[in-house]
Structure 1
Amino acid sequence: MTTTSMETLSPLYAVVDLGSNSFHMLITRQLADSVQVVDKVKRKVRLAAGLSEENILSEQAMAKGLECLSFFAERLQDIPEQNIRIVATATLRLAKNRADFIVKAEAVLNHKVTLLSGISEAEHIYLGVAHTSVSANKRLVLDIGGASTELIVGRGFNVKKAHSLNLGCVTYNQQYFSDGTLSDENFSRAISAAEHAIAPIKTDFCDIGWQCVLGGSGTMQALAEMLIYQHKPSVITLDFLYKVQKQLQNFDNINRIDLPGLSTERSPVIASGLAILIALFQQLSIKELILSSGALREGLLYEMLPNNRTTNIRQRTIRALSQRFHIDQQHAESVKRQINTIFSQLKSSWDLPDGNALALLLASGDLHEIGLLLEYKYHQQHSAYILTHADLAGFNQSDRQLLVSFVSLYKGDINLSLIEQQSAVDDASAKKLLIILRLAIKLCRRRKDDELPNYRIRLKDKALNLYLPEAWLMQHALIHDELKQENDHISRLGYSLHIECEK
C-alpha cells in the first residue's frame, strides 16, 4: 500500500473514549520524540443518565451520543485508520441494548468501536499513568468514571491487580442525590454504599500494598484545581475531602454549588464523586493522593506509538522541549555536570535530599535557558511561563512548581515567595538546591568545559567556601567578580559565599 504524504509528514493519532459522563476525542502527533496534543474535544453526554433501572439505554440518550459522534467523525476522516482507537466503557457494558448503539456509532464514525471490559479499561488506565507520570515504582491508581470506578495496583508497566466496580459519579448522583439535596443523610448513604462495594476487594489490594496513590479522573482533577486555586499543594487528603463535603452541605441544592476553584461543568456530579472518593480513602486507609498526568486515553494512545516503553518519561519530555525551543544542550550538560559535582561535595554536610529532588534540580539545569528563544532580556520570565503552561509528561504539579521557581531564580535577584509557593521539597532544601544551581551556572558562564578547573566547596556553619585555583581566577576575572557578587544574592537565603584562592 502506498504511504500517503499525510502519514509521512504529519502522523496524527486519535483516541475516542465513549465514557459514561463525557465523550472525549484526543488528537496528537509525535514531535521531537514526544507527544504533542493537536486537539481535544469533550462533550458532556452523560450517557449513564439515560440508563433505566433495567439497564436499557434510552433513545434520547443514544440520540445525544450519536449527535456528538457525528461531530467527532468530521475530524477523524483526516487521520490514518491504523492510528485511531475508539472505545466504549461502563455504561455500554451495562446497557442490554448496547449493540443497537454500537452499530449506529460505527456507521456514524466509519470506524470500529471496541467495547472494553472492566479489567481491560482498568489496565489501560494504569498504562496511561505509567506512560505519563513519575512516581514510586509500586503504585495504586484510582479512576472514578460516570458509571464505574477502577482500582489498579502495578509496578512499572506491569499490572499486579485490577478491578472495576459498578459505581460512578453519574449513577451515584441519580441514586443518592436525585433530589439535588446535599444533606448529611444523602452523603452518608452514598459513602456507605460505596464502602460496601469496595469491602470485598479491600484485602486483596491491601495485601499487595503500594508506595503511592495516583488518580486522574474528573472528580480528582476538580479537587486538585480547588487546592491550586487556594495556592496549596495539589495533594488530596481525607481531611481535605471532609472539608469539601462540609462546604457542599452549606448549599441547599446541587444547582446552587459555588465553590472557589470548582468549575460549573463539574458541579453537578462533584458530590457523588466525592462520596466515592471518601469511601476509597476510608476503606483502603489512603493517606494522600496525587493527580496523574494520564489515564485511559493516554494508555490507549501510548500503546499505539512505536518504542513507547523504552524512553524515560522525563527525559523524553526534556529532550522534546530542548529541540522545540533550541536549547544549547551541550551547555545544559555542562551545567548538570557542575550540579552533580557541587551536590556530591555538599550532600553530607548539607543533608541534601536526593532522588526526586536531585532529578528536578538536574532538569532545571536542562531547561533554565528555555526562554532564550523568545528574547534575552526577559528570558527568565519567558522560561517560567513556558514551563507553567507546557505539557510536562512525567512532572506533576509540585514538580512543575519547583522547576518554575528554579528557572525564575537561577540568576539575579531572589524572590523568596517563589520558593515558599512550591511544595516539591521543604523550603530549607529548596534554598540549598537553588544555591547549587546558581553556582553551577555561574561556573559555566564561558560555555566551555575545558576552561573549568578542579575545585572544592565546603560548608562551615552558614558560610560556603569555594576554593578555586588562583591562576584560573586571574584568567576569568568576570566569573570571579560575578561569584563575589553572588554573596549578596544568596544572603537572602541565609547563607554567605566566600571565594578562596588556591595556589
Structure 2
Amino acid sequence: MTAASTADNDASGPDVLAAIDMGSNSFHMVVARLVHGEIRTLEKMGEKVQLGAGLDQYNRLTEEAQERALACLSRFAQRLKGMPPGSVQVVGTNALRVARNAHQFMNRAEEVLGYPVEIIAGREEARLIYLGVSHTLADDAGRRLVIDIGGGSTEFIIGQRFEPLELESLHMGCVSFRNRYFPDGKITRRQMDNAVTHAEQELLNIRRHYRAVGWQSAVGSSGSIKAIASVLASLKITDGTITRDAMLELRKRLVDMGKVDKLGDLGVRSDRQSIFPAGFAILMGAFQSLDIPEMAFADGALREGLLYDIAGRIQHEDVRERTISALQERYHVDQAHGAAVEQTAVAAWRQVANTWGLNTDSDEEVLRWACRLHEIGLTISHSQYHKHGAYLLRYSDLPGFTQQFQRDLATLVRGHRRKFAAAIFEGLDPEDTRRLRYLCILVRLAVLVQHPRNLEPPPEFRLQARDNGLALAFPAGWLDDRPLTRADLQNERDYLAKQDIVLELPDEH
C-alpha cells in the first residue's frame, strides 16, 4: 500500500472528495480537496487485489478473492469515515461486469465501506479515464489518443481538451492475457507473438475508424503503461517516452530474459512482474495496429476522473443532464410534455418522500429523468413503447450513468403504464424493489394527471402515504370537470390493487 501526503487528513467537509476504483487487478483510492474547481490530492492508497484473477471457470468470484477485496476496502473505509455520501464514489470495472455473483459481493462491500458501490460500463469507464487524464495534462490544442490498460479491459479514447470524441473499451487486460498467454511464468517468442496478435485482432473493430479520426499526441495511463515507461527509463533506452523502436527493443529483451521472475532486474516491482509481459503485449499490439510512433505517460486515470465527475455535479455541471438532453433530441421526445409530467411527479414526491423513505438526491434524480424520458420508446413503436423505452435505457451507453442507475431508470420507464406487474421488478433486491415501486407509482400518477397533454401546471393535489397505500385528493370540482382523468385513476386503482397497494380516490359524485 502506498500513501501520498496526508496533509489536512482530518478534513471531512463537503469540499473533500474521495473516489475508489475497484479494478480487475488493483484497488485504488484517492482523497482530494476541491479548491476553486480544481482537485488537490490529499492522499492516495492502492493495493494489488487481483479481483479478476479470482474469477472461477463459471465467472464467479471465489470466496478467497472476495475476502482479499473486502480486507482492502476495510482499510480504505477508515479514511472515509464521516464524509458526506455525495462526496464519495465507489465503482467496479471489468471483473465485476463479468462476475455472475457481483451483486452479492457489492452488498458485502457496501457494508464494509458504508457507501454505495456501483458498476460502470466499459465506455463510461473510458469517459472517466479521459476526464482524469485530460485534467492532468497541459490544455493543448489538437486531438489526443489515450490508452489505459487495466486488468480485464483496455480503454481507447480520442479526445480534444476536456471532451472525449471517441470512446471504446475492449475485452482484453493484463490479468486475462497473463492467464491465457503467460500462465507458467515463461516469456517465449511464441507466447509473446500470440499475445500481440490477439491484441491486434481485438483492435481490428476500431482500427480503421480511429486512424481516420486521427490524433496529434498519444498518452498512456495506469499501472501497466507506467511500468513500461519506467523500465525504458531505467534501462536508458529512452527518457521514459514510449517509442515504437523502444518497444521493439524491450520486446527482444523480455524474450531473451525468458522468465517473469527475472523482471526485477529491469526494475519491475515484484507485485507487477507476473502481469508485465501481458500488459506489454497489449500495448505492443496497439502500437502496431494504430501505428503509434510514440506515447507519453500521464498520472491521471479513472479515480481522478471520478473526482472531477463528483466536482462537476457539485458545481451543477452534471454530464448526466447533457446525456438526458441528448436522448430527448435523438429520440424526438416531446420535451414539453415530459417537463409537465416531471413537475407533477416532483410535486407528489415532495409530499411522500419522508414517509416512503425516498428523500435522497438519487431518488429525486431518477424520478425527474424517468419522467422526461418516459416516452422515449415511441421512436420505435407505439405498441409496447414502455418496454422499448426500458430496453433503450437499460442497454445504451449513457455517459455519466452507472449500470445500476440505468437499471433504475429503465425500471421506472418500463412500469409507467399498463399493468403494474411484479415482473417489472424481477431480479431486484427487496430494498431496491420497495424504493422503485414507490417511485414508479409517482411516475404513473403524474402521467395520468397529464394524460390530456394540455401542458397545464399540476393542480394543488394532496397525497397521504402509508406503507402500502396512498390517499389522493384534488381541489373541489377538479375531477368533476375531468371525467377521463377520473376514469384513468379508477383503472390505476385496480392495477395497484393487484400488487396489494391501496389507492384511495376522492369520493365519487
Residue from 287, 293, 302 that aligns with 1:287:
293
The residue aligned with 1:243 is 249
Matched to 1:158, the amino acid is E
Residue from 151, 155, 161 that aligns with 2:160:
155
Q: What is the deviation of 1:31?
A: 4.7
| Contact map agreement 1:136 1:212 (CA 8 A) in 2 | no
Matched to 1:221, the amino acid is K
| Contact map agreement 1:131 1:309 (CA 8 A) in 2 | no
Matched to 2:106, the amino acid is I
| Contact map agreement 2:151 2:173 (CA 8 A) in 1 | yes
The residue aligned with 1:216 is 221
Residue from 275, 280, 291 that aligns with 2:281:
275
The residue aligned with 1:188 is 193
| Contact map agreement 1:190 1:275 (CA 8 A) in 2 | yes
Q: What is the deviation of 1:33?
A: 6.3
Cα RMSD between the aligned structures?
2.2
Residue from 25, 31, 53 that aligns with 1:49:
53
Summarize the alignment of residues 221-236 of structure 1 with structure 2, pairs less than 5 Å apart. 221-230=226-235, 232-236=238-242
Matched, 1:177 2:188: no
CA distance in 2, matches of 1:19, 1:201: 24
Matched to 1:263, the amino acid is R
Q: What is the deviation of 1:229?
A: 2.7
Matched, 1:123 2:127: yes
CA distance in 1, matches of 2:314, 2:109: 30
Quick one: structure 1 residues 306 and 165, their matched pair in 2 at CA, closer, same or farther if it must change by over 3 Å?
closer
| Contact map agreement 1:25 1:42 (CA 8 A) in 2 | yes
Quick one: structure 1 residues 240 and 53, their matched pair in 2 at CA, closer, same or farther if it must change by over 3 Å?
farther
1:106-130 CA-to-partner distances (Å, cap 9, x unmatched) read 1111110110000100010011111
Quick one: structure 1 residues 307 and 90, their matched pair in 2 at CA, closer, same or farther if it must change by over 3 Å?
closer
1:187-231 CA-to-partner distances (Å, cap 9, x unmatched) read 011111111111122112112111111111211111222233345
Q: What is the deviation of 1:308?
A: 9.7
Summarize the alignment of residues 49-128 of structure 1 with structure 2, pairs less than 5 Å apart. 49-128=53-132
| Contact map agreement 1:122 1:162 (CA 8 A) in 2 | yes
When normalised by structure 1's length, the TM-score is 0.58
The residue aligned with 2:304 is 298
1:57-81 CA-to-partner distances (Å, cap 9, x unmatched) read 2111111111111111111113222
CA distance in 2, matches of 1:146, 1:12: 29
Q: Does the residue aligned with 1:87 lie in a helix, a strand or coil? A: strand
CA distance in 2, matches of 1:309, 1:132: 20
Q: What is the deviation of 1:296?
A: 0.7
CA distance in 2, matches of 1:33, 1:204: 35
Summarize the alignment of residues 104-503 of structure 1 with structure 2, pairs less than 5 Å apart. 104-134=108-138, 135-230=140-235, 232-305=238-311
CA distance in 2, matches of 1:158, 1:34: 17
Quick one: structure 1 residues 77 and 95, their matched pair in 2 at CA, closer, same or farther if it must change by over 3 Å?
same
What 5-or-longer segments of structure 1 have no aligned partner?
311-503
When normalised by structure 2's length, the TM-score is 0.57
| Contact map agreement 2:30 2:45 (CA 8 A) in 1 | yes
Q: Does the residue aligned with 2:25 lie in a helix, a strand or coil? A: coil
CA distance in 1, matches of 2:11, 2:193: 55
Aligned residue pair count: 305
1:133-152 CA-to-partner distances (Å, cap 9, x unmatched) read 12442111100000000001
The residue aligned with 2:341 is none
Matched to 2:231, the amino acid is M
Q: What is the deviation of 1:269?
A: 0.9
The residue aligned with 1:367 is none
Quick one: structure 1 residues 32 and 201, their matched pair in 2 at CA, closer, same or farther if it must change by over 3 Å?
closer
Q: Does the residue aligned with 1:54 lie in a helix, a strand or coil? A: coil
| Contact map agreement 2:24 2:94 (CA 8 A) in 1 | yes
| Contact map agreement 1:12 1:80 (CA 8 A) in 2 | no
Quick one: structure 1 residues 260 and 111, their matched pair in 2 at CA, closer, same or farther if it must change by over 3 Å?
same
Moved more, 299-308 or 79-88: 299-308
CA distance in 2, matches of 1:222, 1:80: 35
Q: Does the residue aligned with 2:187 lie in a helix, a strand or coil? A: coil
| Contact map agreement 2:141 2:161 (CA 8 A) in 1 | no
Q: Does the residue aligned with 1:257 lie in a helix, a strand or coil? A: helix
Q: What is the deviation of 1:288?
A: 0.6
Q: What is the deviation of 1:27?
A: 0.8
Matched to 2:210, the amino acid is F
Matched to 2:76, the amino acid is F
What 5-or-longer segments of structure 2 have no aligned partner?
1-9, 317-509
